[in-house]
């Protein structure tokens, strides 16, 4: 009997043993595989930074950084034609940066007031029916691809701005910064509105009660108590919206021009960082020419700026959330 | 208390005036908010109205019926050749002769080279490839006379859609009185009609506006999204599972989390630059192919899927994990058998939304070269292709009038797909997401 | 609406245990008659008659969820902002009905102040917190007058000595008890006639609670105060009149001494003795 049970136990152990060991090995391998997948995120960031840096460094060997960052003349096409690769002033990116700034400023001047007031109205005044129409409409606006906005800007907005300007006696370019900025502003409205709504509804109800209890009207409560309390969140929302506007490509490619024009006049045509990146890299050219490399330098600037904006925005919002939790 | 009664104090003229002022300010503020909503709605309405207004005509095309005589003298030996050689020989035939011949039989009194050319221009050049395809598929038609419907020229199409005036003297008129007479005659004889343009959805791009279709772009987008899904979904879900279930809470995982959140906010064009530098330059993958486009978009969509996956997994209550663990399941079994199935609706919703965003992305695809003029419907992942939003961009850049309606039509197709995808995601969310 | 003149002494009524529907008692700053509150379809408060008298503290006691706070919020029409909430019956401030076109809600809330359960100072400076009410209602146009109002309110709230040197600090930097006294100062600053307090001490520690109770005691001479509390001992300490609520009904209403030592209704004495809570 003992011999039989002893033999049986041994056999049982052997039967489980390998299976068990295999299971553990499989588990460990799977866990490592999962970890590798999570590390891909880091890989992607590293890839972005290294490819941008690598090509930019090659660019800065032909064109000094100071010329790029401070130079006032941007004409990469002519630089090559006249065979003046290293000539100063051909890769001065200031007009390009200024163009991005101008279009972004126009867009924000539309998106922030409209988005914020829309969020306030929906949070404090709107009835169920208004909300049932407005909220889906804002989501639709958010979901429309930017190429569609770009087409609308080129087909409808730019000619309309032109016609209105001419009726007022102003000289308006056919690809004005105003048209591109206005349409970009419309695109960003839902972004500002939804982030502001988060900030506003995070303000505790007790503050609202306190103000109403003192006899404040709804607008007084909103303007003097709620918005100041929600301000960090709203500022964070605006920073994120600026980041979005700066990185936007299709609207400006289709509705803004290629002319590197250093101006603050919204009625003129300007070019932006994203437009230049597209213009320099589409079409046939060798990969190593300073022209194409300058696109990577622009890309690096774009990446750094949007990253900085996002980090600051996140910090501001997190600091604000800690205050109320 | 002060001397006048409180009620009197509060209803003094100054108090009353101030109250009025405050209530007016309240009304103005409220109206401002409503106006803001109005602006947003108006912009949306203007956008959709202009797209649909311009685009609905893209789905209609004009056809002309021709009695085509497949002249055996012209086509002669083609019938006897084996198929491969037949195709080669077919390119040598001037198919336009058959069209001209059919037209002159309809209008026998038209003569003179110029007039004949105008007459032939009523029919699209695409008619020729149609006849060619017919003969190649069925050589027995040689020697027969068949009535075939062929696409009309883009100007005739525009005329029928009311886009150019019928009056030969009017501004923007494209036809002479004589040509208008021919068109009217064709209409009277029932040889001209308008119908749904299936070819718009099935054919590839073309230099001729009336022949251009989104079929190639749709297939290109489909192939691209398949690659995106195939890469981003497994990677994303795996990463989400690791970060939620297995990762220790240390600085390494915090770094990953910060990274993912930042990647989600990087402009899409930067991903295009990454794709250009890594996939095209370093790895020398074929330019303009859905493979490269898909990989680039996958990198862009990855953070979205990871974030959605994490929140779906987080939503599964710990009690379920504890119960499974208590029964002796290993951590991996807990995840695979219990957590993932319950988190699946949330993960799928997030994935569909991510795919919808990827469908609408143009900038990264421009960077990796999907801007080429591609006529054929792509057959595989390595063929040169274009995607729907890129097609929209290319057509928007084309100056010919006929392409305005095509762009708008293509946008309508894109929006239809997006509505379908987002609608599915919403339906999924409502049907399957449980509240614990 | 003319009512037969009746003496204000409480008439014995087993079901309502309190006042018959009659004209408000003299000295009643606010009076409620037949007030019912419904949320969508649920009846939260049923047919309540209550007076809040000047110079007295009226306590509303009863188990949680029985409608005390809901009723309190009727007196300054804070229930107006809750969707689906309907108030019927009549509430008067000094014989003016408050639900009606005569009295502006915004002014009503200045005349009938409220202190909430959880202290809710604005994220502004101490000064701006107290000055907020007077500013919006236009009670002080010159800075000097505003300073005077702020100081007076903080003094009456017993907070002045503690904060007079740091008026520019944020209101949220104070301790819980100080914050609540700040909220009381804020309410006093608009010179109200009635102060409603909704469980003002339930979020405070015992020492802060004692300070606030002392403050209430000092304030009652100048205002009509109504306080909702689930703490019976507090009601006994602080109030002169008590109303006992149960399941949305006013079960018994009378002087505090009577309610606590010799209640007329069985339910009241059950609650007082702790049979249910």
> Is B6 close to C136, i.e. CB distance below 8 A?
no
C152 touches chain B (CB under 8 A): no
Residue partners of B71: CB distance under 8 A and separation at least 6: B97, B98, B101
Comparing CA positions, the residue from A289, A279, A278 lying closest to residue A86 is: A289
> CA-CA distance, B237 to B347, in Å (whole number)?
8
> Is A120 close to B261, i.e. CB distance below 8 A?
no
Average pLDDT value for chain C: 86
Give residue limits of the domains in chain B. Answer: 56-196, 215-432
**pLDDT tens string for chain A (325 positions)?**
556 655 655 665 554 444 566 777 888 888 888 888 888 888 899 999 999 999 899 888 888 888 888 888 887 765 444 454 544 447 888 999 999 999 999 999 999 999 999 999 999 999 889 999 999 999 999 999 999 999 999 999 999 999 999 999 888 888 889 999 999 999 999 999 999 999 999 899 999 999 999 999 999 999 999 999 999 999 999 999 999 999 999 999 999 888 888 888 888 899 999 999 998 888 655 556 777 888 999 999 999 999 999 999 988 888 776 665 4
The last residue of one of the domains, among A17, A40, A62, is: A62
pLDDT of residue B117: 85
* Residue A100 located in a structural domain: yes
**Which of C109, C118, C137 has its CB closest to that of A213?**
C109
- Residues of B within 8 A of C191 (CB-CB) are 1-2, 6
Burial of A49 (0-12, 13-18, 19+ CB in 10 A): middle
> Is A214 close to C109, i.e. CB distance below 8 A?
yes
pLDDT of residue C185: 95
pLDDT of residue A108: 97
Does A98 share its domain with A224? yes
> CA-CA distance, B382 to B378, in Å (whole number)?
9
Residues of chain B predicted below pLDDT 50: 1
> What angle is formed at CA B113 by the lines to CA B107 and CA B118, rounded to 5 degrees?
60
pTM here is 0.86
Residue C203 neighbours by CB distance under 10 Å: 16
CA B309 to chain centre: 27
- Residues of A within 8 A of B242 (CB-CB) are 31, 34-35, 37-38
Q: Are strands B145-151 and B60-69 parallel, antiparallel or unpaired?
A: antiparallel
Q: Characterise B194 by phi-psi region: left (phi > 0), alpha (psi -120 to 50), beta (else).
A: beta
pLDDT, one tens digit per residue, over C32-65 is 999 999 988 888 899 999 999 999 999 999 888 7
Quick one: average pLDDT of C182-193? 94
Token digits for B235? 């990677």
> Is C136 close to A225, i.e. CB distance below 8 A?
no
Does A98 share its domain with A247? yes
Q: Which residue is associated with the tokens 């920073």? A: A239
Does A30 share its domain with A157? no
> In terms of CA atoms, which chain A residue is nearest residue B388?
A147
pLDDT of residue C14: 41
> CA-CA distance, B63 to A282, in Å (whole number)?
37
Interface test with chain C among A125, A129, A214, A232, by most C beta carbons within 10 Å: A214
Comparing CA positions, the residue from A212, A213, A230 lying closest to residue A221 is: A212
Residue B1 CB-half CA count within 13 A: 20
> Is B242 close to A250, i.e. CB distance below 8 A?
no
- Radius of gyration of chain C measured on its C-alpha atoms: 19
pLDDT of residue A13: 54
**Which of A154, A218, A274 has its CB closest to that of B269?**
A274
Domains in chain A, number: 2
C175 touches chain B (CB under 8 A): no
- d(CA B187, nearest CA chain A) in Å: 33
- Residues of A within 8 A of C124 (CB-CB) are 228
pLDDT of residue A4: 64
Quick one: average pLDDT of C119-139? 93
pLDDT of residue A111: 96
> What angle is formed at CA B402 by the lines to CA A283 and CA B42, rounded to 5 degrees?
90
Sign of the dihedral defined by the CA atoms of residues A233, A236, A242, A245, in that order: negative
Give kind and range of the element (H or E) at residue B65.
strand B60-69
> CA-CA distance, B368 to A131, in Å (whole number)?
42
**Which of C107, C191, C222 has its CB closest to that of B19?**
C107
| A103 neighbors A182 (Cβ within 8 angstroms) | no
> CA-CA distance, A301 to A298, in Å (whole number)?
5
> In terms of CA atoms, which chain A residue is nearest residue B239?
A38
Nearest-10 crossing angle of helices C176-188, A205-213: 30
Edge-to-edge strand list for the sheet holding C28-39: C96-97, C85-93, C28-39, C42-53, C249-255, C241-246, C57-61, C224-228, C194-198, C112-115
Does A58 share its domain with A103? no
SS3 B370: coil
> Is A216 close to C118, i.e. CB distance below 8 A?
no
Token digits for B226? 């398949």
- Residues of C within 8 A of B5 (CB-CB) are 94
Does A34 share its domain with A106? no
Query: Residue A154: which CATH number?
Result: 1.10.3720.10
pLDDT of residue C11: 40
Q: Is the pLDDT of residue C147 over 60?
A: yes
Comparing CA positions, the residue from C262, C274, C277, C199 lying closest to residue C234 is: C199
Edge-to-edge strand list for the sheet holding B145-151: B145-151, B60-69, B192-196
> What angle is formed at CA A9 by the lines to CA A8 and CA A12, rounded to 5 degrees?
85
> In terms of CA atoms, which chain A residue is nearest residue C119?
A206
Interface test with chain B among A250, A272, A313, by most B beta carbons within 10 Å: A250
Chains A, B: CB contacts within 8 A come to 245
Burial pattern B357-389, b for ≥16 Cβ within 10 A else e, equals bbbbbbbbbbbbbbbeebeebbeebebbbbbbb
Q: Which residue is associated with the tokens 């691209």? A: B224
C:179-198 residues touching chain B, CB 8 A cutoff:
191, 193
Quick one: average pLDDT of C81-96? 88
- d(CA A323, nearest CA chain C) in Å: 10
Does A15 share its domain with A105? no
> CA-CA distance, B231 to B304, in Å (whole number)?
13
Sign of the dihedral defined by the CA atoms of residues B286, B291, B295, B300, in that order: positive
> In terms of CA atoms, which chain A residue is nearest residue B301?
A41
Does A21 share its domain with A148? no
Strand partners, C53: C28
* Whether the predicted interface score ipTM is above 0.90: no
Q: Given a contact as 3+ CB pairs under 8 Å, which chains touch C?
A: A, B
- Residues of C within 8 A of A226 (CB-CB) are none
Query: What 3 state SS string does chain C have?
Result: CCCCCCCCCCCCCCCCCCCCCCCCCCCEEEEEEEEEEEECCEEEEEEEEEEEECCCEEEEECCCCCCHHHHHHHHCCHHHHCCCEEEEEEEEECCEECCCCCCCHHHHHHHEEEECCCCCCCCCEHHHHHHHHHHHHCCCCCHHHHHHHHHHHHHHCCCHHHHCCCCCCEHHHCCHHHHHHHHHHHHHCCCCCEEEEECCCCCCCHHHHHHHHHHHHHHCCCCEEEEECCCHHHHHHHCCEEEEEECCEEEEEEEHHHHHHCCCCHHHHHHHCCCCC
Comparing CA positions, the residue from A58, A41, A53, A44 lying closest to residue A299 is: A53
- Residues of A within 8 A of C187 (CB-CB) are 213-214
> In terms of CA atoms, which chain C residue is nearest residue A127?
C83
Quick one: average pLDDT of C189-201? 93
Comparing CA positions, the residue from B221, B212, B133 lying closest to residue B375 is: B212
* Residue A308 located in a structural domain: yes
Dihedral of CA atoms C83, C85, C89, C95 in degrees, nearest 10, equals: -50
Containing domain of residue A234, as a range?
Answer: 94-324
Sign of the dihedral defined by the CA atoms of residues B111, B115, B121, B123, in that order: negative
Comparing CA positions, the residue from A159, A182, A151 lying closest to residue A250 is: A151
> Is A215 close to C121, i.e. CB distance below 8 A?
no
pLDDT of residue A76: 76
> CA-CA distance, A208 to A210, in Å (whole number)?
5
**Which of C105, C106, C116 has its CB closest to that of A210?**
C116
pLDDT of residue A110: 95
Q: Characterise C197 by phi-psi region: left (phi > 0), alpha (psi -120 to 50), beta (else).
A: beta
Nearest-10 crossing angle of helices C143-156, C126-137: 120
Does A133 share its domain with A272? yes
pLDDT of residue A1: 52
Interface test with chain A among B258, B362, B369, by most A beta carbons within 10 Å: B362
> Is B36 close to A155, i.e. CB distance below 8 A?
no
> Is A41 close to B302, i.e. CB distance below 8 A?
yes
> CA-CA distance, C154 to C162, in Å (whole number)?
10
> In terms of CA atoms, which chain B residue is nearest residue C191?
B1
- Residues of A within 8 A of B51 (CB-CB) are 148, 151-152
- DSSP line for B146-160: EEEEEEBPHHHHHHH
> Is B19 close to C104, i.e. CB distance below 8 A?
yes
In Å, how far are A274, B282, B291, B301, B372 from B272, measured between CA atoms?
A: 11, 14, 14, 13, 16
Q: How confident is the model at residue C247 (pLDDT cuts 50, 70, 90)?
A: confident
Strand partners, B322: none
> CA-CA distance, B215 to B219, in Å (whole number)?
6
* Residue A247 located in a structural domain: yes
B:316-345 residues touching chain A, CB 8 A cutoff:
330-332
| B347 neighbors B429 (Cβ within 8 angstroms) | no
> In terms of CA atoms, which chain B residue is nearest residue C110?
B10
What architecture is the B215-432 domain classified under in CATH?
Orthogonal Bundle (1.10)
- Residues of A within 8 A of B389 (CB-CB) are 145, 147
pLDDT of residue A135: 92
- Residues of B within 8 A of C136 (CB-CB) are 22
pLDDT of residue A322: 65
The last residue of one of the domains, among A15, A47, A62, is: A62
| A188 neighbors A107 (Cβ within 8 angstroms) | yes
- Residues of A within 8 A of C78 (CB-CB) are 209, 212-213
**Which of A133, A247, A314 has its CB closest to that of B267?**
A247
Burial of C20 (0-12, 13-18, 19+ CB in 10 A): exposed
> Is C132 close to A212, i.e. CB distance below 8 A?
no
> Is C107 close to B10, i.e. CB distance below 8 A?
yes
Token digits for A191? 């972004």
C106 touches chain B (CB under 8 A): yes
* Residue A294 located in a structural domain: yes
> Is B44 close to A147, i.e. CB distance below 8 A?
no
pLDDT of residue C4: 42
- Measured CB to CB, residues of chain A less than 8 Å from chain C are 204, 206-207, 209-217, 220, 224-225, 228-229, 323
Considering the domain C28-272 in this protein, what is its CATH number?
3.40.50.300
- Measured CB to CB, residues of chain C less than 8 Å from chain A are 76, 78, 81, 105-110, 113-114, 116, 118, 120-124, 132-133, 136-137, 183, 186-187, 190
Interface test with chain A among C69, C93, C103, C106, by most A beta carbons within 10 Å: C106
Query: Cα(first)–Cα(last) distance of chain A, in Å?
Result: 69
Q: Given a contact as 3+ CB pairs under 8 Å, which chains touch B?
A: A, C
């Amino acid at each position: 009997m003992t011999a039989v049970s002893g033999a049986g136990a041994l056999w049982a152990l052997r039967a489980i043993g390998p299976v068990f060991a295999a299971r553990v090995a499989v588990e460990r391998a799977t866990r490592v595989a999962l970890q590798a997948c999570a590390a891909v995120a880091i890989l992607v960031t590293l890839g972005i930074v290294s490819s941008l840096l690598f090509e930019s460094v090659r660019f800065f060997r032909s064109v000094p950084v100071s010329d790029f960052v401070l130079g006032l003349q941007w004409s990469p096409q002519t630089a090559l034609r006249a065979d003046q690769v290293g000539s100063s002033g051909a890769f001065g990116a200031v007009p390009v940066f200024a163009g991005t700034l101008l279009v972004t400023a126009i867009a924000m001047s539309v998106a922030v007031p409209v988005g914020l007031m829309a969020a306030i109205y929906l949070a404090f005044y709107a009835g169920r029916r208004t909300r049932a129409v407005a909220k889906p409409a804002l989501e639709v606006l958010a979901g429309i691809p930017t190429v569609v906005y770009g087409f609308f800007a080129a087909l409808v907005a730019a000619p309309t701005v032109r016609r209105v300007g001419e009726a007022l006696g102003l000289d308006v370019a056919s690809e004005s910064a105003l048209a591109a900025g206005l349409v970009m502003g419309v695109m960003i409205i839902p972004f500002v509105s939804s982030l502001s709504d988060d900030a506003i509804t995070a303000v505790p109800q007790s503050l609202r009660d306190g103000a109403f209890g003192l006899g404040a009207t709804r607008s007084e409560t909103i303007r003097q108590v709620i918005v100041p309390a929600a301000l960090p969140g709203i500022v964070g929302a605006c920073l994120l919206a600026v980041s979005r506007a700066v990185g936007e490509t299709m609207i400006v490619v289709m509705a803004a021009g290629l002319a590197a024009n250093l101006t603050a006049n919204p009625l003129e045509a300007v070019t932006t960082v994203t437009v230049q990146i597209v213009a320099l890299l589409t079409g046939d050219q060798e990969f190593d020419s300073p022209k194409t490399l300058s696109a990577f330098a622009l890309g690096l600037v774009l990446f750094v700026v949007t990253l900085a904006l996002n980090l600051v925005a996140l910090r501001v919002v997190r600091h604000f959330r800690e205050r109320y939790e | 208390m002060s001397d006048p009664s409180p009620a009197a104090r509060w209803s003094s003229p100054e108090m009353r005036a101030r109250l009025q002022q405050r209530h007016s300010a309240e009304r103005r503020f409220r109206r401002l908010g409503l106006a803001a909503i109005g602006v947003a709605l108006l912009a949306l309405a203007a956008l959709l109205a202009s797209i649909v207004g311009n685009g609905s005509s893209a789905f209609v095309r004009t056809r002309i019926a021709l009695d085509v005589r497949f002249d055996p003298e012209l086509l002669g030996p083609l019938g006897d050749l084996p198929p491969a050689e037949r195709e080669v020989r077919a390119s040598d035939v001037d198919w336009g002769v058959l069209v001209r011949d059919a037209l002159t039989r309809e209008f026998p009194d038209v003569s003179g080279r110029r007039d004949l050319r105008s007459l032939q221009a009523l029919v699209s050049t695409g008619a020729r490839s149609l006849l060619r395809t017919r003969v190649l598929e069925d050589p027995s038609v040689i020697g027969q006379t068949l009535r075939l419907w062929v696409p009309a020229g883009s100007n005739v199409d525009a005329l029928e859609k009311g886009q150019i005036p019928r009056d030969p003297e009017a501004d923007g008129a494209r036809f002479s009185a004589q040509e208008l007479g021919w068109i009217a005659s064709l209409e009277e004889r029932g040889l001209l009609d308008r119908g749904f343009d299936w070819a718009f959805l099935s054919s590839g791009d073309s230099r001729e506006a009336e022949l251009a279709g989104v079929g190639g772009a749709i297939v290109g987008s489909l192939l691209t999204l398949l690659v995106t899904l195939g890469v981003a979904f497994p990677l994303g879900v795996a990463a989400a599972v690791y970060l939620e279930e297995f990762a220790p809470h240390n600085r390494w995982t915090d770094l990953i989390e910060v990274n993912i959140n930042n990647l989600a906010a990087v402009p899409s064009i930067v991903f295009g630059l990454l794709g250009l530098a890594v996939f095209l330059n370093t790895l020398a993958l074929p330019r303009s192919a859905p493979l490269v486009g898909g990989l680039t978009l996958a990198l862009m969509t990855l953070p979205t899927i990871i974030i959605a996956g994490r929140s779906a997994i987080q939503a599964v209550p710990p009690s379920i994990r504890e119960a499974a663990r208590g029964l002796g399941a290993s951590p991996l079994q807990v995840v695979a058998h219990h957590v993932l199935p319950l988190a699946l609706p949330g993960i799928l919703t997030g994935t569909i939304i991510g795919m919808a965003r990827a469908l609408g992305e143009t900038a990264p695809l421009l960077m990796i070269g999907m801007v080429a003029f591609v006529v054929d419907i792509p057959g595989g992942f390595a063929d040169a292709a274009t995607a729907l939003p890129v097609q929209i961009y290319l057509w928007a850049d084309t100056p010919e009038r006929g392409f305005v309606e095509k762009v708008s039509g293509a946008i309508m197709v894109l929006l239809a797909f997006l509505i379908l995808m987002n609608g599915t995601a919403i339906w999924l969310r409502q049907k399957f997401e449980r509240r614990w | 609406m003319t009512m037969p003149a009746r003496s204000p002494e409480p008439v014995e009524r087993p079901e309502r245990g309190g006042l018959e529907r009659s004209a408000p008692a003299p000295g009643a700053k606010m009076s409620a008659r037949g007030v019912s509150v419904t949320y969508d379809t649920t009846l939260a408060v049923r047919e309540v008659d209550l007076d809040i008298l000047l110079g007295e503290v009226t306590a509303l006691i009863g188990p949680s969820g029985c409608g005390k706070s809901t009723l309190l919020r009727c007196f300054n029409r804070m229930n107006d902002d809750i969707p689906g909430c309907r108030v019927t019956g009549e509430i008067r401030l000094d014989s003016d009905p408050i639900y009606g076109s005569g009295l502006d809600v915004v002014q009503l809330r200045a005349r009938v102040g409220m202190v909430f359960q959880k202290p809710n100072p604005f994220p502004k400076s101490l000064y701006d917190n107290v000055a907020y009410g007077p500013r919006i209602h236009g009670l002080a146009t010159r800075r000097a007058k505003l300073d005077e109002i702020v100081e007076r309110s903080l003094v009456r709230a017993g907070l002045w000595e503690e904060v007079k040197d740091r008026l520019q600090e944020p209101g949220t930097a104070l301790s819980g008890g100080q914050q609540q006294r700040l909220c009381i100062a804020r309410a006093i600053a608009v010179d109200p006639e009635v102060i409603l307090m909704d469980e003002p001490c339930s979020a405070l520690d015992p020492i802060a609670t004692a300070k606030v109770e002392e403050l209430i005691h000092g304030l009652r001479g100048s205002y009509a105060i109504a306080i909702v509390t689930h703490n019976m001992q507090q009601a006994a300490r602080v109030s002169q009149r008590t109303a006992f609520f149960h399941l949305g009904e006013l079960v018994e209403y009378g002087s505090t001494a009577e309610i606590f030592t010799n209640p007329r209704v069985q339910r009241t004495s059950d609650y007082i003795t702790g049979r249910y809570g």
